[in-house]
Amino acid sequence: MESFYSESPFGTSITAEEVLDSIGFLDDWEERYRYIIDLGKSLPALPDELKTEERFVRGCQSQVWLTQQFDQAENRIYLAVDSDALIVRGLAAIVLAALNRKSPQEILDYDMEAYFSKLDLLKHLSPTRGNGVQAMVARVRDEAQRLV
């Protein structure tokens, strides 16, 4: 398995719970954005040859690529995302903290809206606002749907 799957901390050492905990302590926008950008920096980069048309996520002002691999034996989807913008990278990391290495059924059952609300991201970083987070989540869910 490629290192951008196996070495991603998201869904292993950095989970949705941990993201929620950490962000809960941050009370102003600057701290939150610095945290989100730092999360993005922990996201392993995708090699350029994988930044192809079919991995391109539409609906983003910045360029976003998403790739996944299904491990049948483990029944887990491995996800990897890359973007040329720091904040979108960070948001992608937040999504991966929740969805990476989960089974297709777990992905479909995951309540993303509740997760975003808890993060208070709906107010500060609306997922519908051109940052492509919604499109990213939809792409992952489509893949999960195909596999269940």
Partner 1 sequence: MSFDIAALRAQFPILSQTVRGKALAYLDNGATTQKPEAVMHAVDAYYRECNSNVHRGAHYLSDEATTRFENARQSVADFVNASREEIIWTRGTTESINLVASCHGASLKAGDEVIISTLEHHSNIVPWQMACERSGATLKVIPMQPDGSLDLAAYRALLNERTRIVAVTHVSNALGTVNPVADMIRDAKAVGAATLLDGAQAVSHFNIDVRALDCDFYAFSGHKLFGPTGIGVLYGRKELLEAMPPWLGGGEMIETVSFERSTWNRLPYKFEAGTPNIAGAIGLGAAIDWLRGQDRSALAAHEAELLHDATARAEAFEGMRLIGTAPGKVAVLSFLLDGAHPHDVGQLLDQQGVAVRTGHHCTMPLMDCLGIPGTVRASFSIYNDSTDIERLFNALEKVKSFL
The residues of the shown chain that bind partner 1, judged by CB under 8 A, are 29-30, 33-34, 37, 61-63, 84-88, 124-125, 130-131
Active site residue 60: yes
Q: Residue 66 or residue 144: which is nearer to partner 1 going by CB?
A: 66
- Given 60, 93, 95, 137, which residue is catalytic? 60
**Is the Cβ–Cβ distance between 30 and 102 less than 8 Å?**
no
- How far apart, in Å, do the first and last CA atoms of the chain sit? 22
DSSP 54: G
Q: Residue 22 or residue 63: which is nearer to partner 1 going by CB?
A: 63
Q: Residue 33 or residue 70: which is nearer to partner 1 going by CB?
A: 33
Q: Nearest-CA neighbor of 56 among 37, 77, 38, 82?
A: 82
d(CA 89, CA 42): 9
Tell me the catalytic residues.
60
